[in-house]
Amino acid sequence: GIQVEQSPPDLILQEGANSTLRCNFSDSVNNLQWFHQNPWGQLINLFYIPSGTKQNGRLSATTVATERYSLLYISSSQTTDSGVYFCAVARGSQGNLIFGKGTKLSVKP
Amino acid sequence: DTAVSQTPKYLVTQMGNDKSIKCEQNLGHDTMYWYKQDSKKFLKIMFSYNNKELIINETVPNRFSPKSPDKAHLNLHINSLELGDSAVYFCASSTRERIYGNTIYFGEGSWLTVV
């Protein structure tokens, strides 16, 4: 099956700093999504981005499908950005996402 | 107006019991899923279901079974609960209007503790 690796596994930032989270995947995919799991356990969909670049406020994401990686950028981080960020991919006509192990982000005030 | 809702949010039960977790989506999606998140936060697909087919992850014990009374509901039944079943179970839904890729929406999770 497809392997999904995320880096770094843990990240500690000071409020206001910028960061880049990376997701590598081992095979071609036609579905890639980024999620944020907040400290209360809620999984929030950030981006559906199998290719290209998208931006939403302080967050943006880029997927280079031919090189099998995706990046999530967080600018001017806030304490509410803390949590675990997951990358998930799928291939074929099924939507069954395969998740990476996540990047745990802690933003300090 | 919660998009994907699960009940109960917390469930503590004894080994050997049978329990169910209910899931409802009001998004009009045609595919629903169950995911399991273990103590290390690893998320893994258990089932996906639309009105045509059920796809089961082969690693899921047959003590787990999904039941879909209609398109908007996919309930999870667990028989003979074991300690290792303790986890957070997430229901999710998506639409397959686009064959290649779809955005998936998760419920808030159900924390199951088996004692």
A95–B43 CB contact, under 8 Å: no
Higher pLDDT among residues A31 and A11, named by residue: A11
A17 interfaces chain B, CB cutoff of 8 Å? no
Structural tokens at position A64:
């280079």
Higher pLDDT among residues B57 and A38, named by residue: A38
Average pLDDT, chain A: 94
Distance CA B50, CA B66 (A): 11
Low-confidence winner among A30-39, B55-64, B103-112 (lowest mean pLDDT): B55-64
Q: List the Cα angle A23/B58/A48 in 5-degree steps.
A: 30
Domains of chain A: 4-108 (2.60.40.10)
Asked whether residue B27 carries a pLDDT value surpassing 80, the answer given is yes
From the list B30, B27, B14, B37, the residue with the least C-alpha distance to B108 is: B37
From the list B109, B105, B41, B89, the residue with the least C-alpha distance to A102 is: B41
pLDDT score for B103: 78
Asked whether residue A81 carries a pLDDT value surpassing 80, the answer given is yes
Distance CA B102, CA A96 (A): 10
A101–B42 CB contact, under 8 Å: yes
Exposed/middle/buried for B52, CB within 10 Å: 0-12, 13-18, 19+?
Answer: exposed
CA distances from A42 to A66, B48, B67, B109 (A): 31, 20, 24, 7
From the list A41, A77, A43, A39, the residue with the least C-alpha distance to A59 is: A77
CATH number of the domain where residue B72 is located: 2.60.40.10
For residue B43, give its domain range.
4-114
B45–A97 CB contact, under 8 Å: yes
Residue numbers in B near A45 (CB within 8 A):
103-106
Residue range B30-51: average pLDDT?
Answer: 91
Residue numbers in A near B101 (CB within 8 A):
30-31, 48, 50, 90, 95
pLDDT score for B100: 43
Distance CA A27, CA A25 (A): 6
pLDDT score for B99: 44
pLDDT band for position B50 (cuts 50, 70, 90): confident
Distance CA B101, CA A4 (A): 17
Residue B84's SS3 state is: helix
Q: What is the pLDDT of residues A49-61, one digit of tens each?
A: 999 999 999 999 9
Asked whether residue A92 carries a pLDDT value surpassing 70, the answer given is no
Residue range B39-54: average pLDDT?
Answer: 87
Residue range B6-25: average pLDDT?
Answer: 97
pLDDT score for B57: 81
**How many domains are there within chain B?**
1
Q: What is the pLDDT of residues B62-106, one digit of tens each?
A: 999 999 988 899 999 999 999 999 999 999 998 765 544 567 889
pLDDT band for position A72 (cuts 50, 70, 90): very high
Structural tokens at position A41:
């356990």
In this structure, the strands spanning A10-14 and A103-108 are parallel
| Nearest residue, CB atoms, B108 vs list A42, A45, A88 | A42
Strand order in the sheet with A4-7: A4-7, A19-25, A69-74, A59-64, A52-56
Residue B10's SS3 state is: strand
